[in-house]
Structure 1
């Protein structure tokens, strides 16, 4: 028996690493689309044997053509679900003894199994990307395991030369595999794979010897990623975080440099204007502008250095009716999905809030919140934009803009669980606080 297939697979994998081509990458942002669905076609070699050892029912196994296709859904950069289908033939005979020299005492001379189909659902784990610090990689190693059904029909030839054809049977199969992918472009990958299929039966080759049968499928094929954008399977979140950290540090270094330069300039100006800035009574107003010199320490002064008479504080009284107006506005406030555009059904209650602000000269704090769907940066921006949108509308209805504060908190202050649709609905809100 020749093991050319097993000898050539490591060479192919090594060649795949060595042949990696550097490709330009577009930086990933919070709005970057990813390709998560893909289809693949492949062809390769089927053989009724396992390199992991175990009992072989025929002393001389043969390699036959196999072919397959699959549909895959990439759920995260590291995990996907793949629906596989494989067809082909399995062959073997006893024309030669085992490698140990022992002649197989089988009552059969040879067999041929028509693998009508093998359909399985597999969990695929990306075990390794070529570089954790590249946002999009070109090479990837993966492992897979799953379960499914195989349908086959066996034709055996006994030692007298008579052939017998069995009925078609369906049996459970557990495929366990390894593979490597090489990204040719954003939409096409070369896929090399090797799967050992464990069959829940001892008649895959027509000869039952007390242990379940298994077969190999080593293949090469093409995978086509559907949609637009980069492939999620080759995406590295670690690289995105690293790039963002580098950019943040560069921005901080630039700001620090500007701040240091400004401090030096300010020190120079202070030394040149020491006479102009002299303040003998330490009231914060330079002597040359101080109309009330020698003000007692601790006295609050105005811009001319004279004591400032504080106005009597105004007492703001918020009634239950006022709170009801605000509560109705919160209840009726709706935005277009994923946007900061206020829907028209919210205008009436917002108009009443604007009238309340104008009539009683209240101040209002608007706090925008979101659920945890999407990235932290996107949610923070959306919550801020929605709060600002409400402020802009109230100002358009006559409210004093200086008395309205709009802040976005993103997903950081949930009031309910984000694990349910109802909880996420409660967390998507804009809170109104009168004061």
Structure 2
């Protein structure tokens, strides 16, 4: 048992080390046969067919010849074919066919077996379904390996005929018809990538027959035979797609990451260059604009158009920068009546700053008054205490601004109209009654 475990350990070590030694040179951005991570099965070639030939012998790596019925194994020719479906980079199912013959003899008598006796088992056919596990084809740094170690196991059914002979070549026994029996194939091997869709297959398989009459004798435990072969495997499908068995999904994820990183870096560099150019253009534009926007005396008229430079601070000027003559403003009783009429007819939509059409005629008269006499007007919006203070403050301000906007649209000078909102801060009646709240919801007009 210890010897068997030692042999198995050496074989596994050889598989893993071999896969690493034959790996291709790392190439982080190798795009040949590249497939984006998490792509579906349609992106790969998953079906392969293969043909192989080799040697069949009753000798196996498990156990010694001393435990065989015939102690001198012979090597005979075997051949076969298979079709394989790859489900994952490391897992496939393979339907296998094999035929040939197995033979052995005894140089000296062993128990009931005479010296020089021999047997030949003609394997007419065998069919097996195996699970293949590919090893050492997943790593970060290699796009794919040049060699894929694999192990396999499954179950099969075989038809065979056995003939036994004595030392003189006389037939002692021969099968009457074809015997049929189950067997368990266990194998390992290497597949070398010869091209994008062609692999060289070197393998070794031990077949555990579920009977002891495979060699014509039933004197001990179940028989077994091995098959060492060489063959060619061909991938089916488009040559533009990689084989799933040789595909390295981990390295594709690394390649995708490096691509995205390079693309992002290129984008960042391009944006930096564009931003630098924009900053340069903006600085030049600002320098040119600054020359056209200098207002040394702060009267609102740029030096380029200012006919009265160095105007004292706070002085109102005309379009040429010269002080305006202060007009004498006289507000008559008729003017006040026009304003009172506008206030009495003023209505808004509920909770909004939208002026109702009923108010337009009286507001039009106020607008003509402002235009004709160049009056200034202060608009003060007020509300009752219904709702929050912030909402009322905003509503009163919006309503005063709405009236200002209307008057300006009718020709009034916007600079002579001041719109202010006081919210619920300045009631003129009690907010405890409906009538009082109605009085508090108002906009006051002050002419001057």
Instruction: Give the TM interval when normalised to the shorter protein.
Output: 0.5 to 0.7
The answer to whether residue 174 in structure 2 is matched with residue 165 in structure 1 is yes
Residue 216 of structure 1: aligned partner: 226
Cα deviations by residue, 1:98-136 (Å, 9 ceiling, x for unpaired): xxxxx6223242111111112100111111228654445
Find the counterpart in structure 2 of residue 236 from structure 1: 248
Report 1:22-61 matches (<5 A).
Answer: 26-29=32-35, 33-53=43-63, 55-61=67-73
Task: Give the superposition deviation at 1:207.
Answer: 1.9
Cα contact 2:51–2:80 (8 A) shared by 1: yes
How far apart are the structure 2 equivalents of 1:158 and 1:204? 17
Counterpart residue number, 1:129: 137
Q: How many pairs are equivalent?
A: 272
Query: Is the alpha carbon distance of 1:274 and 1:255 closer, same or farther for their aligned partners in structure 2, counting shifts above 3 Å?
Result: same
Q: Is the 8 A contact 2:102 2:122 kept in 1?
A: yes
> Structure 2 vs 1, CA of residues 123 and 275 (structure 1 numbering), >3 Å: closer, same or farther?
same
Provide the secondary structure at the position in 2 that maps to 1:206: coil
2:155 is the counterpart of 1:147: yes
Name the CA shift for 1:15/1:126 in 2 (closer, same or farther; >3 Å).
closer
Pick from 209, 213, 216: which aligns with 1:206?
Answer: 216
Supply the distance in 1 between the matched residues of 2:160 and 2:268 (Cα, whole angstroms): 72
What residue number does 1:104 align with? 110
Equivalent position of 2:269 in the other structure:
257
Gaps in structure 1 of 5+ consecutive residues: 1-5, 97-102, 280-286, 289-309, 313-435
CA contact (8 A) 1:127 1:142 kept: yes
In 1, Cα distance between equivalents of 2:122 and 2:212: 15
Distance 2:22 2:35 in 1: 29
Alignment of 1:400-411 (within 5 A): none
Give structure 2 stretches of 5+ with no counterpart.
1-6, 294-300, 303-351, 355-448
Cα deviations by residue, 1:34-90 (Å, 9 ceiling, x for unpaired): 322211110001111221216211111111111111011122222111100111111
> Deviations for 1:132-177, whole angstroms, at most 9, x for unmatched residues?
5444543211111111101111111246855211232111111011
Matches of 1:29 and 1:207 in 2, distance apart? 55
Instruction: Tell me the SS of whatever aligns to 2:265.
Output: helix
Match of 1:174 in 2: 184
How well do the aligned residues superpose, as a CA RMSD in angstroms?
3.9
Offset of 1:25 from its aligned partner? 5.9
2:341 corresponds in structure 1 to: none
Contact 2:150 2:188 in 1 (8 A): yes
Distance 1:81 1:311 in 2: 77
Match of 2:164 in 1: 156
1:26-425 correspondence runs (5 A): 26-29=32-35, 33-53=43-63, 55-95=67-107, 104-108=110-114, 109-129=117-137, 133-158=141-166, 161-167=170-176, 168-229=178-239, 230-268=242-280, 273=286
SS state at 1:128 partner: coil
Q: Output the CA distance in 2 between the equivalents of 1:202 and 1:90.
A: 14
Q: Is the 8 A contact 1:133 1:236 kept in 2?
A: no
Change (3 A) 1:162 1:73: closer
Judged with a 3 Å threshold, the aligned counterparts in structure 2 of structure 1 residues 237 and 118 are, in CA distance, closer, same or farther, namely same
**Distance across 2 between alignment mates of 1:274 and 1:25:** 50
Deviations 1:245-268 (A, max 9, x none): 111001111122233334444555
Instruction: Trace 1:1-40 onto structure 2 (pairs within 5 A).
Output: 26-29=32-35, 33-40=43-50
Instruction: Give the superposition deviation at 1:236.
Output: 1.4
Cα offset, 1:26, TM superposition: 2.3
The answer as to whether partners of 2:138 and 2:250 remain within 8 angstroms in 1 is no
Give the alignment's TM-score, normalised by structure 1: 0.54
Q: Distance in 1 between matches of 2:132 and 2:18?
A: 23
